[in-house]
Amino acid sequence: MQVYNAASQEYEPNRLVTPTIIRPIVNAHAADGTWPIPTANGSLANMHWYVNGVDISLLDDWVNLYDIDGAGATRGSLTVRRNVTPQERLSLHFEADLVDQRLGVTIHIKTDPVILSTVDKSEDLYGISIGEDRNIRYSPFDDKLLLYEYKVAHGIIPESSTAESQARDGNEYYRTIPIQVYLADTLLSTGYTVKLFKIGANLSLTEVSETDYEVVSVSAASIILDLRLIEKADYMIKAYVDDVEKAKVQISIERIYRNFTCTPTNETGIHPGQTARFDMALVNCDGKAVEYPGSIIKIIWHTDTAKRINVVHNEGGTTVFQLKDTGVGENDGDNWIDVYVEAIQKEIHSVAIDEEGNIFADADDNIYIFN
């Protein structure tokens, strides 16, 4: 958003002097780990920016007032040198083809819209800022709070306020977004209210309600979100004075799916008289072993033997299965067994609801969620 100062006939900021750069962030991965790097901007082709649905290259009022970056990780970025009048409201979006040279195919990419607008400065303006990145990317692999709570819940470690505090390093699912509202350069502490809206199709706004379980709380000081319940979402935070909207800021939440390897670790033979077999999965992500991977990865255990192929046993970071179920024999040619896993990162949590729509909760009305 720009501000137009009618008294001085100037834009703040003036994009002719300080351009605005809008960068589409394209990430890609392959389940088998063959995609080279997560940031995929460098593999984009047929790039086009659109203004209110029209290709920007066809608009006379944009001639020589924009550039589209063609380099590497910033490929596709739009540099805007055009000032927007207070009467205009421009919706920009980006489309391109992601080239997958492994398969010889292209995947069409279309971003969410970005709005450019200008307010006419006739009085001191309100502003709103947040103490958090506007594009929040959440990965359970980096969530130390999630790991701490898993260990406590399973009796692996005792509760510790110190350990819990250390686990809140900015990557945790329980995300507090501090809010600050200004009138001109003055930071306000009272006299305003804050509301949170979901951004839907066609930029429609719907105020969050008590059924939006990913929103823990909304107050004048902060918004608290549970990122375990969010796959991808856009929100608008608005500040109101006397029920009149004065300022707003948009945030985006996205769940990240990481590349990892998952391997059984029990390489011992089967002993005479043995009836069951124990195994544990070793999971590595970014060169580090993942603690208790069953909490964030769905790991299904399989076996092959000479008599039975692809026998499914159970799920978890560890397993114990009965050897009689595998079909392993005692004679040469059938006395072998292959143990392997099928592993995929778990998706977002869901609220536990029965067939009649009743929500499961504990005695303190804390809602149960699962994935």
Residue 53 lies in a domain: yes
Shortest CA distance to 319 belongs to which of 266, 283, 271, 244?
266
Q: 249 is in which domain, residue-wise?
A: 123-256
Q: What is the pLDDT of residue 224?
A: 96
Q: Are 277 and 323 in contact (CB under 8 A)?
A: yes
Concatenated DSSP letters of 40-55 = -GGGEEEEEEEETTEE
Q: Among 196, 223, 256, where does a domain finish?
A: 256
Assess whether 13 and 64 both reside in one domain.
yes
Same domain as 116, residue 8 = yes
In a domain, 354, yes or no: no
CATH of residue 77: 2.60.40
Reported as a single tens digit per residue, the pLDDT across 232-254 is 999 999 999 999 999 999 999 99
Q: In this structure, is residue 154 part of a structural domain? A: yes
Verdict on whether the full-model pTM lies above 0.85:
no
Both 112 and 163 in a single domain?
no
Output the CA torsion sign for 281, 287, 291, 296.
negative
Same domain, 201 and 273: no
User: Could you tell me the CA-to-CA distances from 197 to 148, 236, 330 in Å, in that order?
Assistant: 31, 5, 65
Name 247's bridge partners: 239
| Among 91, 121, 151, residue at a domain's last position | 121
- pLDDT value, residue 33: 79
165: phi then psi, degrees, rounded to nearest 5: -65, -40
Phi, psi values for residue 89, rounded to 5°: -140, 110
- Both 247 and 326 in a single domain? no
Co-location of 184 and 272 in the same domain = no
Q: Band of the pLDDT at 122, cuts 50, 70, 90? A: low
Domain boundary among 201, 233, 256: 256
Q: Which two tokens stand for residue 168?
A: 């809140």
Locate 159 and state its tokens.
Answer: 């509760």
Maximal CA-CA distance, the chain: 95
- Give percent above pLDDT 70 in the chain: 99
Length of the chain: 371
| Each residue's pLDDT tens digit, 42-60 | 989 999 999 999 999 999 9
Burial of 48 (0-12, 13-18, 19+ CB in 10 A): middle
β-pairing, 105-110 vs 311-315, is unpaired
The rounded distance, in Å, linking the Cα atoms of 206 and 199 is 7
- Render pLDDT for 54-104 as a digit per residue (tens, 0 to 9): 999 999 999 999 999 998 889 999 999 999 999 999 999 999 999 988 888
Closest C-alpha to 302, from 318, 283, 326: 326
Q: What is the pLDDT of residue 101?
A: 83
Q: What is the CA radius of gyration of the chain?
A: 27
pLDDT, one tens digit per residue, over 177-229 is 999 999 988 999 999 999 999 998 888 999 999 889 999 999 999 999 999 99
Query: 294 and 319 in one domain?
Result: yes
pLDDT at site 132: 87
Please give the tally of structural domains in the chain. Answer: 3
* 297-304 β-sheet, strand order: 311-315, 297-304, 338-345
Mean of pLDDT values over 139-150: 96
Check whether the bond before 13 is cis (ω within 30° of 0): yes
Sign of CA dihedral 122, 124, 125, 126: negative
In the chain, % of residues over pLDDT 90: 75
Do residues 214 and 338 share a domain? no
Helix (H) or strand (E) holding 302: strand 297-304
